[in-house]
């Protein structure tokens, strides 16, 4: 996932991912700087709730 800040990531992990059946643990890596993103559109976090602004990093 792509989150806008650490609080957003913590909310996703604790409020969403924690409740998915079958998930027993997670491993998280944070990227401090991205030089280039190969996406068709830039992610937007403007005027959206935190839950709606979580973007998947693949098409699955």
Question: Over the stretch 12-48, which tens digit does the pLDDT of each residue have?
Answer: 999 999 899 999 888 998 888 878 777 766 667 765 5
CB neighbour list of residue 24: distance below 8 Å, 6 or more residues apart: none
pLDDT computed for residue 3 by the predictor:
86
pLDDT computed for residue 22 by the predictor:
93
Banded model confidence at residue 53, pLDDT cuts 50, 70, 90:
very low
| Of 4 and 40, more confident | 4
23, 17 Cβ separation under 8 angstroms: yes
Please tell me whether residue 9 adopts helix, strand or coil conformation.
helix
Instruction: Examine the pLDDT at 11 and tell me if it is beyond 60.
Output: yes
Cα–Cα distance measured from residue 55 to residue 14, given in angstroms and rounded to the nearest whole number: 16
């Amino acid at each position: 996932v792509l989150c806008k800040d650490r609080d957003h990531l913590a909310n996703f992990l604790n409020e969403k991912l924690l409740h998915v059946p079958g998930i027993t643990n997670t491993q998280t890596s944070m990227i401090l700087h991205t030089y280039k993103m190969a996406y068709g559109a830039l992610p937007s976090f403007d005027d959206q709730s935190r839950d709606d602004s979580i973007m998947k990093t693949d098409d699955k």
